[in-house]
């Protein structure tokens, strides 16, 4: 493996990149390719004459050309394919184009379009990106990892493809998610793309449609479970520790039976976290912080209903507990304010529950005396009514489950109900902003998981906050990498949530605008680095030095001069 590095000329102070290739090999490598922007001097020194047209383009001209072609695509998936092909040709140009058009292109690069890309992955496969580690080849783990483009990998995003967005098991198609997520790390926090690696663990799939599909590219058997599954993950982690000992490992879209178990098994052994639980929980806590402070209230003044208590719901509840305890409540007192609901209603003792659901189940005597629509089952409406909920959070993937009567009851419980319809993609949202505003007479505070256009309320246009994990995970990753922490703690996530909430510009916004994402990530990274330092886990530097390190680590997509490495 080659090591990617930016050098500094000791005589002139000029930054430059050492390239290991010349000619066709150079222009075919997406990290090094400049396309039509290679200078005449570089063409001469790197044997590029005749390979490229004569005219040398600036990056701005290249961006204009790429955007013109992008704009001709008529559907989101066509736009996605165009951007992916650009990423495969010229990564620097790809990231400049995205940063220039953040609000327009993020829904194409990631949610909601990436869901369709995952579903059709085997049918539109063109060029490999990242690494595929199948159960059949786990004994070759070191050889597989040696196929990474560069040896100095800082970040790995890995999935086993079992729980892709709201789509479920997509098997090998789940690779679309780590590919997209690593791109968001680059866009959001400036991690250099050469140092980021997407990985797919192929342990089979339970998706019957995929197993019947002759074009499906993954292992054609049902998912491994139990010890067979655990051996694959263990060998993978040990391989990563050997080959990339300083890499941050992000677990992405693992199924409910494995996500928490895998996180807990490795969070002390590796610098790792699960974005679906910890990232979702943290950005949701940041949104709630902003919302309740906008009402001149506190977290502990609220009653919370969480509809959909899988790993995202658990992650939100767990972070809420930590936030409530920061305000002086005991863990028991904090849990009394949280009402978790799954497909069978309010989670009560005696129900068949997953391990992580048990820690948040309520005792049956909590509902004694409650007025119920149907005896023997405590529904979402029943819980909102009887618990006098002031915050309702949806991570269920069930479209329109926040019905008009549920939303109207929220408005009866409090003057400004907080409605968080966080399921992705858009078609799975628990309600639309229009529905929420209509049912609450325009009084609700709302955020959604997918992007929605502004809504006019009483003649005033209101922007809809997207409760997007992108506000969290890039900065968490950057802060952890820069401060060289051996593990990521809950206190780091709490610090990150507070950092985001502090950047909210006014009561009309629950999060900063997405165009400020690099400023957000810088501050999140600093909050992580400070917490790491204060807890004895990170490098010991004063705040201004930590911020300087973080800023210096944030790559800006521009072309540096090249010199051939002999």
Other C-beta atoms closer than 10 Å to the C-beta of 39 total: 15
Cβ atoms of 52 and 36 within 8 Å: the answer is: yes
Q: Cα angle vertex 36, ends 31, 42, to 5°?
A: 75
Active site residue 181: yes
Q: Please tell me which residue in 34, 181, 322, 335 is annotated as part of the active site.
A: 181
Helix %, strand %, coil % for the chain, to 5?
A: 50, 15, 40
Secondary structure of residue 202 in the 3-state scheme? strand
- Report the alpha-carbon distance of residue 520 to residue 187 in Å, rounded: 12
Cβ atoms of 466 and 448 within 8 Å: the answer is: yes
CA 166, 172, 173, 174 torsion-angle sign:
positive
Tell me how far the alpha carbon of residue 173 is from its chain's centroid.
17
- Report the alpha-carbon distance of residue 260 to residue 294 in Å, rounded: 33
Cβ atoms of 59 and 558 within 8 Å: the answer is: yes
- Report the alpha-carbon distance of residue 16 to residue 264 in Å, rounded: 42
Question: b/e for 245-264, b at 16 or more Cβ within 10 A?
Answer: eebbbbbbbbbbbbbbebbe
- Report the alpha-carbon distance of residue 363 to residue 360 in Å, rounded: 10
- Describe the strand order of the beta sheet including 304-307 as a list of residue ranges: 345-346, 338-342, 304-307, 391-394, 418-421, 445-448, 465-466
392 phi, psi to nearest 5 deg = -125, 130
- Report the alpha-carbon distance of residue 280 to residue 424 in Å, rounded: 12
Q: Which helix (H) or strand (E) holds 418?
A: strand 418-421
**Cβ within 8 Å of residue 298, ≥6 positions away:** 292, 327
- Report the alpha-carbon distance of residue 547 to residue 20 in Å, rounded: 32
**Cβ within 8 Å of residue 399, ≥6 positions away:** 427, 428, 429, 430
The DSSP 8-state label assigned to residue 139 in this structure reads G
| Residue whose C-alpha is closest to residue 522's, from 494, 544, 490, 489 | 544
- Residues β-bridged to residue 509: none
| Residue whose C-alpha is closest to residue 175's, from 230, 232, 253 | 253
The DSSP 8-state label assigned to residue 214 in this structure reads T
> How many Cα atoms occupy the beta-carbon half-sphere of 259 within 13 Å?
26
Q: Please tell me which residue in 32, 80, 110, 471 is annotated as part of the active site.
A: 110
Cβ atoms of 93 and 66 within 8 Å: the answer is: yes
Task: State the catalytic residues.
Answer: 110, 181
């Amino acid at each position: 493996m080659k090591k990617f590095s930016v050098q500094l000329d000791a005589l002139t102070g000029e930054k430059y990149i050492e390239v290991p290739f010349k000619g066709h090999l150079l222009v075919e490598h997406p990290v090094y390719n400049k396309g039509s922007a290679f200078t005449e001097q570089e063409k001469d020194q790197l044997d590029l004459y005749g390979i490229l047209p004569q005219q040398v383009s600036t990056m701005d001209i290249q961006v204009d050309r790429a955007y013109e072609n992008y704009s001709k695509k008529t559907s989101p998936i066509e736009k996605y394919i165009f951007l992916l092909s650009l990423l495969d040709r010229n990564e620097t140009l790809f990231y400049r184009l995205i940063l220039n058009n953040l609000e327009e292109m993020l829904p194409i690069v990631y949610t909601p379009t990436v869901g369709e890309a995952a579903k059709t992955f085997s049918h539109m496969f063109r060029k490999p990106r990242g690494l595929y580690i199948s159960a059949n080849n786990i004994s070759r783990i070191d050889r597989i990892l040696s196929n990474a483009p560069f040896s100095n990998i800082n970040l790995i995003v890995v999935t086993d493809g079992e729980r892709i967005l709201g789509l479920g098991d997509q098997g090998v198609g789940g690779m679309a998610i780590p590919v997209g997520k690593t791109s968001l790390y680059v866009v959001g926090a400036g991690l250099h793309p050469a140092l980021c690696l997407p990985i797919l663990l192929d342990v089979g799939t339970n998706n019957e449609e995929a197993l019947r599909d002759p074009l499906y590219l993954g292992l054609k058997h049902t998912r491994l479970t139990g010890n067979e599954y655990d051996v694959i993950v263990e060998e993978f982690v040990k391989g990563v520790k050997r080959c990339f000992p300083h890499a941050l490992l992000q677990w992405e879209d693992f199924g409910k039976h494995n996500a928490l178990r895998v996180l807990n098994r490795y969070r002390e052994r590796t610098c790792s976290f699960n974005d679906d639980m910890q990232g979702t929980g943290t950005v949701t806590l940041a949104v709630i912080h902003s919302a309740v402070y906008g009402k001149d209230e506190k977290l502990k003044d609220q009653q919370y209903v969480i509809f959909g208590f899988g790993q995202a719901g658990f992650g939100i509840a767990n972070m809420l507990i930590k936030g409530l305890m920061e305000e002086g409540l005991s863990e028991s007192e904090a849990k009394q304010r949280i009402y978790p609901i799954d497909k069978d209603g309010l989670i009560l003792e005696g129900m068949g529950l997953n391990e992580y659901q048990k820690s948040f189940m309520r005792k049956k005597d909590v509902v004694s005396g409650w007025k119920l629509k149907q005896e023997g089952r405590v529904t979402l409406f029943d819980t909102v009514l009887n618990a006098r909920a002031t915050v309702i959070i949806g991570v269920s993937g069930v479209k329109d489950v926040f019905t008009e009567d549920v939303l109207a009851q929220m408005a009866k419980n409090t003057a400004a109900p907080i409605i968080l319809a966080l399921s992705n993609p858009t078609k799975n949202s628990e309600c639309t902003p229009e529905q929420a505003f209509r049912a609450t007479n325009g009084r609700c505070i709302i955020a959604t998981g997918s992007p929605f256009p502004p809504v006019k309320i009483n003649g005033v246009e209101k922007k809809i906050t997207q409760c997007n994990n992108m506000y969290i995970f890039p900065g968490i990753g950057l802060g952890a990498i820069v401060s060289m922490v051996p593990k990521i703690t809950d206190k780091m996530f709490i610090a990150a949530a507070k950092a985001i909430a502090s950047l909210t510009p006014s009561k009309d916004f629950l999060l900063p605008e997405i165009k400020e994402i690099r400023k957000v990530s810088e501050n999140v990274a600093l909050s992580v680095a400070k917490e790491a330092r204060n807890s004895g886990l990170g490098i010991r530097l004063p705040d201004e030095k930590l911020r300087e390190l973080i800023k210096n680590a944030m790559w800006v997509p521009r072309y540096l001069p090249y010199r051939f490495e002999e």
